[in-house]
Amino acid sequence: MNDKKSSTLLALTAAALALPMASEPAKADPPDQKFTLGFKQSNYKEAPIAADQLGLGSPERYTIDVSHLKFKAPVSTDTELTTSVIRETMSGASPWYVAPGADGEPLQVMSGATISEERTELGVDFRSYNSNSEVTLSGGYSSENDYESVSFGFSGAWRLNQNLTTLSYGANTSFDYIDPSDAESFDRPVHETKKRAGAMVGITQVATKTTLLSATLGFSVLDGYLSDPYKRAFVEGNTVRDSRPGQQEQINLNLSLRQFFEGPGGALHADYRYYTNNWEIDSHTLELSWYQNLGSDWQLIPSVRYYDQSAAVFYRPFYETTRTDGFYSSDYRLSDFSAVSGQLKLSKTFTAFRFDLAYETYSASGDHPGLLEYDLISLGLGYAFE
Amino acid sequence: MPSSNATPQLHSAAFNAMGSRCEIQLYGPKATAKAVAARAVECVRALEAKYSRYRADSVTARINAAAGSGHAIEVDPETAALLDYADTLHEQSDGLFDITSGVLRKAWDFKAERLPTDEQIATLLPLIGWSKVDWQAPFVHLPEAGMELDFGGYVKEYTADCVADLCRASGIEHGLVNLGGDIHVIGPHPDGSPWQVGIQHPRQPNAAIARIPLAQGAIATSGDYERYMMVDGTRYCHLLHPATGHSLHPAFASISVVAARCLIAGSFTTIALLKSPEEPQWLSEQGLPYLTTDQQLRLGGSLETGVRASNTPTPMPSASVQ
């Protein structure tokens, strides 16, 4: 074969490679036309409050058992319906307010260990797919004796650039009704409501055969009763209701990297999240996970997460003077703190069956005496059939 | 996770599209294979609708309708890449593969079995010539009223590649796409054995002249038997010379080429047939595996054939591939 002739193959191949789909497309995620049934049982246990940080009440905190059942079924060749039920039972005591100790140090006052609650959540997702785009409509309802919530969502994605780029978007809203128990005895508000509306846009790019990059930007507005009816704040020797602004705006940005390494047969998942709201809470989260394939469809996933946030502008552990704006909250979730957590997960997939087992331990540190430490154990089972 | 232990089932879909008998054969879990096959057929229909000369809403019709108007038509990236490909075909075939030569069908009526007059051809020749086309991506304009583009010379091969890509992207590893003899193998049978591709006998409809084992890649076949007429004992086929407007007399009755992509394979079969009166050896210098059937029905070329049946053609079942 002489040079001029072989150049025909080169020229035609080069022209063919410019055609869409002539290069290997990234795998999209079409409905797999399978029925899948998933069940997950988790036990979440908060560590007791240390004796030197406890003012009054029980040191024992929440234990929550969660059962999650999910069922996905194809509706047509390009649509599927997912329904899920979550059942939670919780018991234990929760932080009530913070009072100054003899030396002015903050001490946590706990509610009596009498709380015993159940929560049920139902969710439905309807997903419709075609070769270049997909949309999902979602609905949810959650109920417990003092709280009800209804939510709706709409999300979608467009796949562009021979499936190498995915643009995603979504909007969601929820309506909550809060009617605290024992309101009269404990000076709690009644018949409160809360609304939430949010929207997000995202982009995911297949950068190389083994690298995936994505960025998501979200914005939410909350309106209504945003305080915690079961918490109080210590102000000049008295306690008052937890009282926060009736409006909050949130912005969050997520950046993630998925990098597969062929040598060890594993993938690095790196995620950074930035969150800010108009109560002046800023937070940063960095999470690193390693997905190691072990052969025979076993997978081991260690991960670590670091979290850091600043306090809300009106937050104090307790108040020595009254505030002109009337906002008071000593909720540890509004305080300045950082937290680390580690998780180890093991999973195994059989032909139609899979299971996973995970353990997570979390510890927060800061100046609030009620900051959390918890352990979480979960077992997941899945079954797929046609 | 794919159910690697389950025995995959073969799912076939047969249909007519692009003027040909088409079939898609996929191995996989039944519901998955069925859903992917349905999407594959949809993909063929979509590309047929997009490039059909016969549909007023097609890209081809839009470009042709604007011929001589002075208004350039803006085309989408896929069409732009196909026009760039046409430019490469024209250049690499020394002008023989010309997507503007389709207009000659107005003179060449193969069904009527009547040769065109020189006058008929002479009126059409000014409308032919890719080099006259004003193509500056993404704008294309045919300068003379009556000029026509025809993607029919390679869009079926391109479609076979697209459909195979689509199936692979949906997780299918074993299967085959056959659009009227333009074949793209997604992957071998689940046991690793190759597909046996029947090569159309150029003189006997529905008979195979050879079988080619193919585990991967693509194969395309063209010949003087696809559209032709016999006038006074001479065969006039659909291969027309864009400069003279006359039917070519190729040195081969049929040519098959194997390549990674069906578009490439089909381009080589067509260029090789167009060049064969002058350069019958051209294909043998290209480095691609091929099979030729000459006018005396002798097989040649570098491909390993399962059956060499030049004198006793084997019957070809409706599915030409096993």
Q: What confidence tens digit (pLDDT) does each residue in A196-244 have?
A: 999 999 999 988 877 889 999 999 999 999 999 989 999 988 899 999 9
> Least CA distance to A26: which residue of chain B?
B169
Indicate if B43 and B163 belong to the same structural domain.
Answer: yes
Quick check: helix, strand or coil at residue B155? Answer: helix
**Which domain, by its residues, includes B240?**
194-322
Q: Give Cβ neighbours of residue B119 (< 8 Å, ≥ 6 apart).
A: none
E strand or H helix at A295, and its extent?
strand A282-295
> Are B5 and A386 in contact (CB < 8 Å)?
no
Average pLDDT over residues B296-306: 84
The DSSP bridge partners found for residue A144 are A119, A147
User: Distance between CA atoms of B209 and A134, rounded to whole angstroms?
Assistant: 47
Whether A159 is in a domain gets the answer yes
Indicate if B206 and B312 belong to the same structural domain.
Answer: yes
Question: What does the pLDDT read at residue A186?
Answer: 82
Whether A21 is in a domain gets the answer no
Split into its structural domains, chain A has a count of 1
B221 touches chain A (CB under 8 A): no
B169 touches chain A (CB under 8 A): yes
Indicate if B185 and B249 belong to the same structural domain.
Answer: no
> Are B34 and A30 in contact (CB < 8 Å)?
no
A379 touches chain B (CB under 8 A): no
Instruction: Please state, as a whole number, how many other Cβ atoms lie within 10 Å of the Cβ of residue A222.
Output: 20
Whether B174 is in a domain gets the answer yes
Contact A74, B31 (CB under 8 A): yes
Peptide bond into B138 cis (omega under 30): yes
Domain final residue, candidates B118, B133, B148: B148
Is this complex scored with an ipTM above 0.90? no
- Hey, CA dihedral for A145, A381, A29, A265, is it positive or negative? positive
Average pLDDT over residues A246-253: 96
B6 touches chain A (CB under 8 A): yes
Instruction: Please state, as a whole number, how many other Cβ atoms lie within 10 Å of the Cβ of residue A226.
Output: 19
Split into its structural domains, chain B has a count of 3
Question: What does the pLDDT read at residue B249?
Answer: 92
Q: How distant is the Cα of A351 from the closest Cα of chain B, in angstroms?
A: 5
Give the nearest partner residue to B88 out of A11, A22, A78, using CB atoms. A11
> Are A33 and B170 in contact (CB < 8 Å)?
no
Indicate if B113 and B126 belong to the same structural domain.
Answer: yes
Whether B34 is in a domain gets the answer yes
Whether B264 is in a domain gets the answer yes
Quote the percentage of chain A above a pLDDT of 70: 94
Give the nearest partner residue to B29 out of A1, A2, A386, using CB atoms. A386
Whether A192 is in a domain gets the answer yes
Residues of chain A contacting residue B84, judged by C-beta atoms under 8 Å apart: 15, 18
- A198-209 pLDDT, tens digit per residue, is 999 999 998 887
Give the nearest partner residue to A15 out of B38, B85, B287, using CB atoms. B85
Q: Enter the pTM of the model.
A: 0.56
User: Distance between CA atoms of A158 and A144, rounded to whole angstroms?
Assistant: 37
Give the nearest partner residue to B165 out of A7, A9, A25, using CB atoms. A25
User: Distance between CA atoms of B298 and B293, rounded to whole angstroms?
Assistant: 5
Torsion on CA atoms A178, A183, A186, A192, rounded to nearest 10:
30
Question: What does the pLDDT read at residue B8?
Answer: 74
Domain final residue, candidates B90, B124, B148: B148
Interface of B with A in 273-302 (CB under 8 A): 282, 285-288
> Are A1 and B165 in contact (CB < 8 Å)?
no
Indicate if B204 and B281 belong to the same structural domain.
Answer: yes
Quote the percentage of chain B above a pLDDT of 90: 70
- B88-146 pLDDT, tens digit per residue, is 999 999 999 999 999 999 999 888 888 999 999 999 999 999 999 999 988 999 999 99
**Which domain, by its residues, includes A131?**
29-385
Whether A125 is in a domain gets the answer yes
**C-alpha of B84 from chain center:** 17
E strand or H helix at A4, and its extent?
helix A3-17
> Are B162 and A11 in contact (CB < 8 Å)?
no
Indicate if B108 and B38 belong to the same structural domain.
Answer: no
Contact A269, A255 (CB under 8 A): no
Q: Give Cβ neighbours of residue A126 (< 8 Å, ≥ 6 apart).
A: A75, A79, A80, A81, A82, A136, A137, A138
| Alpha carbon separation from B252 to A146, A265, B14, B248, B299 (Å, rounded) | 85, 51, 30, 11, 10
Whether A208 is in a domain gets the answer yes
CATH number (domain holding residue A343): 2.40.160.40
Whether B62 is in a domain gets the answer no
Band the pLDDT of B6: cuts 50, 70, 90: low
Task: Using the predicted structure, report yes or no on whether residue B193 has a pLDDT greater than 70.
Answer: yes
> Are A32 and B82 in contact (CB < 8 Å)?
no
Q: What is the mean pLDDT of chain A?
A: 89
A17 touches chain B (CB under 8 A): no
Residues of chain B contacting residue A1, judged by C-beta atoms under 8 Å apart: 285-287
Indicate if B231 and B297 belong to the same structural domain.
Answer: yes
B161 touches chain A (CB under 8 A): yes
Q: Which of A4, A10, A12 to mutate to probe the B interface, most B CBs <10 Å?
A: A12
Indicate if B135 and B248 belong to the same structural domain.
Answer: no
Indicate if B26 and B172 belong to the same structural domain.
Answer: yes
3-state helix, strand, coil in chain A (%, to 5): 5, 65, 30
Question: What does the pLDDT read at residue B320?
Answer: 54
User: Distance between CA atoms of A255 and A274, rounded to whole angstroms?
Assistant: 9
B302 or A224: whose pLDDT is higher?
Answer: A224
Whether B184 is in a domain gets the answer yes
Domain final residue, candidates B135, B168, B191: B191
Structure tokens at B229: 């007429």
> Least CA distance to A161: which residue of chain B?
B77
Indicate if B155 and B108 belong to the same structural domain.
Answer: no
Whether B64 is in a domain gets the answer no
E strand or H helix at B88, and its extent?
helix B77-92
Give the nearest partner residue to B285 out of A2, A22, A74, using CB atoms. A2
> Are B38 and A11 in contact (CB < 8 Å)?
no
Task: Using the predicted structure, report yes or no on whether residue B63 has a pLDDT greater than 80.
Answer: yes
Give the nearest partner residue to A33 out of B4, B31, B264, using CB atoms. B31
CATH number (domain holding residue B246): 3.10.520.10
User: Distance between CA atoms of A341 and A303, rounded to whole angstroms?
Assistant: 8
